[in-house]
Structure 1
């Protein structure tokens, strides 16, 4: 046995008036209803192994949406009495094994898996079934499935982590994936298991990303998936239903296929497989959330970060309520939803009840990834209580966030990194959060402005020869990073900042552009191109979208993995479905 040393939506509605043995499954794509009748002996309880790392709230919400109650594992003996177990592994491999060992759960978990009772692992819950992983300096796993988990090869030129919506290719039939076909599901991981003759009898589905990796396994009653079904919209809920009540799910899918007409794009049918396969380019809806003058949280949007109306008393611009808008974007096909908390009065994020409540409520209605930014850093509140960055992030994760976005604090972290000669020291929020939750949970938001220069040798920053000369005919430019909502510039460029935060452990970059914000004339392609070439982690293009063509333009011209917009979606000037349709017409991989 291979051993490594460890150095460390179909919307589903439950009829409240019906008996507990009766549920209706309503698919978003066709709104067809299929009655699922369970036997009187069906147990509607699921045991959840939540060891306290990351966002498990979304898994809970998905299980409840499918009509089941949840019992948590609080002690090892709870595994012995479980009848149906879901293990949503979140965070780093070493952290997970360490916590499971400390809580005395490793042996009981192996016993449960060997017992023949239904088991579903999610993401890290799949990887831990293997013999070991390169992550965390090399770590031994549960040893259930032959093989080791290894990192994606960054020399292939693909962004790592593998983040976004990719196809799955089932290798055989199963209740878990029956009828799912090769619909896209949501992945977020830097390490993967690979198929081999030794684990061939386990492999249920594979996915392509710089080569083939294992995206689902099954043998007997034991199943696991590398992707996140709870974040994969209606497709993911279908897959969870295939685990929770397989016979009824298979029958429901068959009836739906028989009743459904030929799919069209306008229906956004999750069964549609038109367009190129592979990792989709993501379309993200962003909600700037701020307290208005009456104390209510509203979604706002500004021009060059000014969020007040130009007339009528200069009230904060109100474009809607956060939860309702987020749910609308999920229904319209957004691949992710980002909340940026720009309220400035917070004393302590641990008591930021309105924003945390927004996340809790949104995660009940939005089954795609949620990112939240604003105040993610180590802090001390007015009463003298201190919290680490990881503790602050944990509060957001527990409330429903999948990723946290770090802004101004990342600039300080990068400048400190360079001052130390390019050496991480573990002191930054980026390092502390990624060490516990994995780099895929950390997004760094960069807010730069263009600076023109005549001679690139005159500045210590990475410059580009620009197609848009400066006011005095300058042929070169760089992008100065800012803090405090763009009000203060720092002597560090966007390219240098991106390289530093990648080295510190960030898993993704949200790249804004102050010059283009609210203008609607397109993304800054030179900026996005320069940053995406400088790093191996995914880059999200932001600021400037005004029409669907701007999305295809940034994907064709740069290495951006995703593109984000706010105002044009809020004001219904451009629809998400409209953008997706245009991408498909341009032969750009998109989740239809």
Structure 2
């Protein structure tokens, strides 16, 4: 029996699903007494350090948690659950941690994108049964902006490189904690959890401290989900956002089955975009919640869901803020939420007022769940101009001339599925959303959607150079060479595709096989 400490933030459902998938039983700690009586305790955490500690104190969990940690019983901390073990965090000055390990949580001091997001290797620094049965080159999923600095080198279990070496796991006796997410690390992560569940019976894996670790470029499968004319949820795909063919919605498969197939084929992440749901109130869209919950039981890589994450007043006049909507998706199995059209409204309000209000969906969700949980989906289209000063936007000189030979363009953001243009450009939107707390940009391109002509390199390069957070390239992939082009010609961290995978024109393994000796990937 595994007791899971849930302090009310983050995707604990994925941890429960992974443990149950391996044959374990889970009970969620609802009272201090549940922690005190636990035989094995797992503490997954995401979000902000200060918010986490405040919630632990409010629930009365701090004292029994400290007592448990001093008892010698098995403990696994994950991500923020590892950082909580230390004295303090730069993220929340003045708020002490549990203080079981001496050290401080520091923000990444690097020119690379922060959060550190994606699949990276580990170096095992001390003998541990946690890594029995794993290859030395396995990659695990990371998503964090802060890392621990441990004062005692004998307590460092693994290290990882991201511009410089940082502590990625610690161990003291039966206490182990990882910065990476085993429940989201595919087969390698499941093996790590299996070893933890073995409660000391797994063979000890010796240290393997040699060699640098490398963050992989991510290949993401995207599933556009909507109800067809028979009101069944299907995966579809548009051509410049038009999802109908011969009058009917294109039906390219069932969401859960396709997500599982892409996971087995090596997808590094799965993204669901609900492109027609949430017309009334998103928490009543039970079919999509059911899809998310069922996928989380079968897929052990990160899941993102987009569509309808904003403030609502339901048909009964009750108000529900975006934070409550997002919370339901996190607790149903999502790791990240994607905000699209509403991000444009938020950015325009920010620019009009000249300051942040603190109450936008982006700010609310990132404050509680962390910036890494908020993805901004940008849907721009090219607008050609004769000269750079013709419009008050971020204008690019383009190698692709316009219909009248124009050599300049800007990328107009759109809303409502590309049907309505707004007077804000993609570069400005990305910068504003980063300022408000977003942790990743999903960069689409209406002009390239469904064309198979390749990613819009000019757009992706401009946005990537304008922000310090990871960028996902989307729209236009038609071959494995297009993935190589976007990774080598821009600094983007990930590339997403839909149609070529749904139509089985190209598999994820074929893409990775083509990239294997050219860029760093997870095999």
TM over 0.5: yes
- The bucket for the TM-score relative to the shorter chain is over 0.9
Contact 1:238 1:249 in 2 (8 A): no
Contact 1:285 1:337 in 2 (8 A): yes
| 1:157-178 Cα deviation digits (max 9, x unpaired) | 2110111000111012200123
CA distance in 2, matches of 1:464, 1:137: 41
Within 5 Å, give how 1:103-502 maps onto structure 2. Answer: 103-153=59-109, 156-180=110-134, 181-195=136-150, 198-250=151-203, 277-309=213-245, 311=246, 314-344=247-277, 346-421=279-354, 423-502=355-434
| 1:409-428 Cα deviation digits (max 9, x unpaired) | 0001111111112x211121
- Structure 1 pair 438–247 and aligned structure 2 pair: CA distance change class (3 A): same
Secondary structure of 1:513's aligned partner: coil
Structure 1 counterpart of 2:476: 544
Structure 2 counterpart of 1:262: none
Task: Count residues with an aligned counterpart.
Answer: 519
Contact 2:278 2:307 in 1 (8 A): no
CA distance in 1, matches of 2:388, 2:158: 50
- Note the C-alpha offset of 1:71: 1.6
CA distance in 2, matches of 1:303, 1:516: 9
- Note the C-alpha offset of 1:139: 2.6
CA distance in 1, matches of 2:254, 2:423: 37
- Note the C-alpha offset of 1:332: 0.2
| 1:246-290 Cα deviation digits (max 9, x unpaired) | 555439x99xxxxxxxxxxxxxxxxxx99x941100000000000
Q: State which drifts further: 502-511 or 180-189.
A: 180-189
Structure 2 counterpart of 1:270: none
CA distance in 2, matches of 1:393, 1:50: 17
- Structure 1 pair 409–137 and aligned structure 2 pair: CA distance change class (3 A): farther
Contact 2:74 2:199 in 1 (8 A): no
- Structure 1 pair 162–126 and aligned structure 2 pair: CA distance change class (3 A): same
- Note the C-alpha offset of 1:322: 0.1
Gaps of 5+ in 2: none
Q: Does structure 1 residue 573 correspond to structure 2 residue 509?
A: no
CA distance in 1, matches of 2:2, 2:300: 19
| 1:476-505 Cα deviation digits (max 9, x unpaired) | 111000000000000000000000000000
- Note the C-alpha offset of 1:544: 0.3
- Note the C-alpha offset of 1:242: 1.4
Secondary structure of 2:270's aligned partner: strand
- Note the C-alpha offset of 1:370: 0.2
Contact 1:379 1:388 in 2 (8 A): yes
Secondary structure of 2:87's aligned partner: strand
- Structure 1 pair 345–359 and aligned structure 2 pair: CA distance change class (3 A): closer
Contact 1:346 1:352 in 2 (8 A): no
CA distance in 2, matches of 1:489, 1:382: 29
Contact 2:277 2:285 in 1 (8 A): no
CA distance in 1, matches of 2:115, 2:401: 35
CA distance in 1, matches of 2:457, 2:516: 21
- Note the C-alpha offset of 1:585: 2.5
Structure 2 counterpart of 1:85: 41
Contact 1:277 1:589 in 2 (8 A): no
TM-score (norm 1): 0.86
Contact 2:394 2:410 in 1 (8 A): yes
CA distance in 1, matches of 2:177, 2:90: 20
Contact 1:134 1:149 in 2 (8 A): yes
Contact 2:443 2:460 in 1 (8 A): yes
CA distance in 2, matches of 1:297, 1:138: 48
Structure 2 counterpart of 1:266: none
Contact 1:163 1:189 in 2 (8 A): yes
CA distance in 2, matches of 1:297, 1:491: 34
Contact 1:451 1:479 in 2 (8 A): yes
- Note the C-alpha offset of 1:345: 5.9
CA distance in 2, matches of 1:307, 1:250: 53
Contact 1:282 1:562 in 2 (8 A): yes
- Note the C-alpha offset of 1:133: 0.3
Secondary structure of 1:287's aligned partner: strand
Structure 2 counterpart of 1:58: 14
